[in-house]
């Protein structure tokens, strides 16, 4: 069971504050969509509106083509994995996972079997008799996921579900989330402020800022061809170079006027967009790459961040001939 | 200094428990008066008390009133606390204050007020009337304990239950109340002990069927007797049992 979500010019206002400003999105059935943005950008508000925990001030939300206006969370085809897991501490894992089925009148035996199957799906087979307090954070997260998926929702909402986990566990869980999503085929709408997490799991990323959708597309597109300066900066580090009348500070460039955005790893010795000779100011080995700050000889006040390949051993003071392989020009 | 502090502890405990110890000791008095000198041990008074139908009926009444009124007070107090903790209403603080206020009013005043109101509506003094009186005194306690126990942890579990399709009454019954099992049990047992040895309200609001404290009081009217001590000891035993049950069932498990 899976369904698309259509969000049509949704506004959310709290007094004079605007939490969501004319948000429109078409999420397709079976898609893994990540709402990405800094805290306070409205991503959680949007998730709450889809889940029915808040009613939009204006606009419509359709799930599987049905208008959700006035439909309570319990009657929506959505379930949520909460940031704090919100497991029921007085119930065994089996009863936690089976809770939604119990509310739907499924017989005890059938829901126990289904709960075991769901626990197996998240890698906790045979632990149905345990209590939530006996589990680690990552395991609790899995139980919350199993509980939300047990009722076969059409859309699963995930509210920063990996926020409380340490980095290594978070990376593992990302892969697992993605694999589980492919297996069950449910539409996943996942909220996070971590752009690496978003790129790791999303089919499409919705970049949000100040209540608006800044960008919406596959990770590659959002990272390499951002629509706005905000997206460019939020998705990763970027060198911003003003271009006026075909002139960048380091010389003429064959691009329209605006802000030329260069990712540090897109600047190489062979790049086609010629920057020219640059002096190395400092360099640091980061494992996967060497991070250096350079200043073009033609414009010594400009600082560019460049990620050179692991094998490069740039001396401070050395002069490199650099160019950009990929770039975008954005208007402020 | 160390000796002094131990001595102080002993004196403090003696001050608290000596009257009870004396009461219990003289309930075994082999004589007609529960006063020194101690003449020897006998269980005669316990036999007499346990064979007294009026006393045993009063004991049954007391238990019934205590359990039923506490259950009602706890249900009402819990529901009120849940509502005031979850929903923002105009005047929430005032409503909380008004709910807790009866705690500060003396039982005598509450009893007189209830007596007047019951008279006006033609309700006769009875165990029911006493039970209502005990709900009045225990509701604020149950409300205060429940309200203090409600937290964000529980709020998010309730939200998850609604998200999974639970109607509101099932949220309360399957999630909110079980998560607060320990404080709710504490409130219940405290209510039972308060109702169990409450005298003034029961005295003014009962007539033919009376509760145990009222029956003991009428025994006292005919003078001191080791039988009264025996009855007092039994009452004390029940209270202690309740406290121990509370400790074992509620606080041990909460750890």
Tens of pLDDT, residues A268-324: 988 888 888 999 999 999 999 999 999 999 888 889 999 999 888 888 888 989 989
Among chain A residues, CA nearest to B155: A86
Contact criterion met (CB below 8 Å) for A39 and A210? no
Rounded to whole angstroms, what are the CA distances from B246 to B189, B195, B242, B253? 7, 16, 6, 10
Please list the residues that pair with A243 across neighbouring strands. A258
The answer to whether residue B255 scores a pLDDT higher than 60 is no
First to last CA, chain B: 35
Taking alpha carbons only, the member of A79, A88, A225, A36 closest to residue B170 is A88
- Distant-in-sequence, close-in-space partners of B249: CB < 8 Å, separation ≥ 6: B185
Contact criterion met (CB below 8 Å) for A255 and A329? yes
Structure tokens at A204: 């499409």
* R_g (Cα) of chain B, nearest Å: 22
Element (H, E) at A324: strand A319-324
**B161/A99 Cβ within 8 A:** yes
Residue B254 pLDDT grade (very low, low, confident, very high; cuts 50, 70, 90): low
Among chain B residues, CA nearest to A149: B164
* The predicted structure's pLDDT at residue A126: 85
* The predicted structure's pLDDT at residue B253: 61
Nearest Cα of chain A lies from the Cα of B68 at a distance, in angstroms, of 26
pLDDT digits (tens, 9 = 90+) for B20-32: 888 888 888 777 7
The answer to whether residue B7 scores a pLDDT higher than 90 is yes
What architecture is the B58-254 domain classified under in CATH? Orthogonal Bundle (1.10)
Among chain B residues, CA nearest to A98: B164
Nearest Cα of chain A lies from the Cα of B242 at a distance, in angstroms, of 24
Lowest mean pLDDT among A154-168, A277-291, B146-160, B210-224: B210-224
Q: Residue A130, Cα to own-chain centre: how many angstroms?
A: 32
Helix, strand, coil share of chain A (percent; to 5): 30, 35, 35
What is the DSSP pairing of strand A239-243 with strand A212-217? unpaired
Contact criterion met (CB below 8 Å) for A255 and A243? yes
- Distant-in-sequence, close-in-space partners of A296: CB < 8 Å, separation ≥ 6: A249, A250, A275, A276, A277, A278, A302, A304
Nearest Cα of chain B lies from the Cα of A14 at a distance, in angstroms, of 16
**A100/B159 Cβ within 8 A:** no
* The predicted structure's pLDDT at residue A227: 93
**A90/B164 Cβ within 8 A:** no
Q: Starting at the earlier edge strand, list the strands of the sheet with A5-14.
A: A17-27, A5-14, A58-63, A66-67
Name the residue among B163, B166, B179 with its Cβ closest to that of A80: B163
* The predicted structure's pLDDT at residue A199: 94
Residue A158 pLDDT grade (very low, low, confident, very high; cuts 50, 70, 90): very high
Residues of chain B with C-beta less than 8 angstroms from the C-beta of A88: 157, 160-161, 175, 178-179
Q: Residue A258, Cα to own-chain centre: how many angstroms?
A: 27
pLDDT digits (tens, 9 = 90+) for A120-154: 988 888 888 999 999 988 889 899 999 999 999 99
The answer to whether residue B91 neighbours chain A at the CB level (below 8 Å) is no
Name the residue among B153, B162, B174 with its Cβ closest to that of A74: B162
Residue A16: is it exposed, middle or buried by C-beta count within 10 angstroms (0-12/13-18/19+)?
Answer: exposed
Structure tokens at B99: 């709910």
- ∠ Cα A119 A121 A127 (to 5°): 25
């Amino acid at each position: 069971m899976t369904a698309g979500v259509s969000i049509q010019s949704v506004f959310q206002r709290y007094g004079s504050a605007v939490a969501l400003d004319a948000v429109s999105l078409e999420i397709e059935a079976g898609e893994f969509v990540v709402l990405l943005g800094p805290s306070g950008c409205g991503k959680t508000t949007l998730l709450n509106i889809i889940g029915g925990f808040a009613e939009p001030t204006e606009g419509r939300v359709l799930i599987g083509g049905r208008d959700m206006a006035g439909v309570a969370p319990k009657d929506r085809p959505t379930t949520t994995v909460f940031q704090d897991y919100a497991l029921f501490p007085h119930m065994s894992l089996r009863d936690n996972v089976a809770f939604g089925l119990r509310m739907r009148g499924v017989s005890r035996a059938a829901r126990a079997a289904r709960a075991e199957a769901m626990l197996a799906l998240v890698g906790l087979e045979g632990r149905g008799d345990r209590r939530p307090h006996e589990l680690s954070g990552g395991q609790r997260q899995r139980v919350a996921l199993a509980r939300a998926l047990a009722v076969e929702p059409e859309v699963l909402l995930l509210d920063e579900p990996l926020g409380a986990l340490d980095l290594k566990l978070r990376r593992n869980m990302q892969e697992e989330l993605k694999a589980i999503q492919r297996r069950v085929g449910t539409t996943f709408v996942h909220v996070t402020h971590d752009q690496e997490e978003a790129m790791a799991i999303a089919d499409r990323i919705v970049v949000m800022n100040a209540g608006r959708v800044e960008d919406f597309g596959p990770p590659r597109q959002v990272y390499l061809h951002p629509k706005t300066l905000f997206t460019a900066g939020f998705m990763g580090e970027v060198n911003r170079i003003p271009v006026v009348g075909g002139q960048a500070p380091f010389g003429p460039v064959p691009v329209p006027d605006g802000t030329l955005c260069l990712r540090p790893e897109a600047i190489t010795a062979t790049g086609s967009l010629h920057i020219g000779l640059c002096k190395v100011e400092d360099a640091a080995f980061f494992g996967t790459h060497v991070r250096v700050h350079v200043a073009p000889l033609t414009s010594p006040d400009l600082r560019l961040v460049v990620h050179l390949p692991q094998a490069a051993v740039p001396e401070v003071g050395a002069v490199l001939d650099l160019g950009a392989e990929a770039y975008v020009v954005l208007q402020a | 200094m160390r000796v002094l502090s131990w001595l102080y502890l002993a004196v403090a405990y003696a001050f608290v428990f000596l009257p009870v110890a004396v009461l219990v000791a003289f309930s075994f008095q082999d004589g007609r008066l529960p006063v020194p000198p101690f003449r020897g041990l006998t269980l005669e008074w316990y036999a007499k008390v346990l064979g007294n139908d009026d006393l045993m009926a009063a004991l049954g009444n007391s238990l019934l009133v205590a359990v039923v009124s506490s259950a009602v007070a706890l249900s009402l107090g819990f529901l009120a606390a849940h509502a005031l903790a979850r929903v923002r209403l105009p005047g929430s603080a005032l409503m909380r204050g008004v709910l807790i206020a009866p705690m500060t009013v003396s039982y005598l005043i509450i009893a007189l007020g209830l007596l007047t109101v019951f008279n006006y509506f033609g309700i006769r003094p009875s165990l029911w009337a006493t039970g209502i009186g005990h709900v009045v005194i225990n509701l604020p306690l149950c409300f205060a304990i429940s309200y203090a126990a409600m937290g964000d942890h529980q709020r998010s579990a309730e939200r998850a239950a609604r998200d999974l399709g639970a109607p509101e009454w099932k949220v309360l019954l399957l999630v909110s109340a079980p998560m607060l099992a320990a404080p709710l049990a504490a409130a219940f047992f405290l209510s039972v002990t308060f109702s169990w040895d409450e005298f003034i309200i029961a005295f003014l609001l009962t007539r033919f069927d009376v509760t145990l404290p009222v029956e003991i009081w009428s025994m006292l009217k005919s003078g001191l007797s080791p039988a009264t001590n025996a009855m007092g000891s039994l009452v004390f035993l029940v209270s202690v049992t309740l406290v121990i049950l509370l400790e074992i069932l509620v606080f041990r498990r909460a750890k």
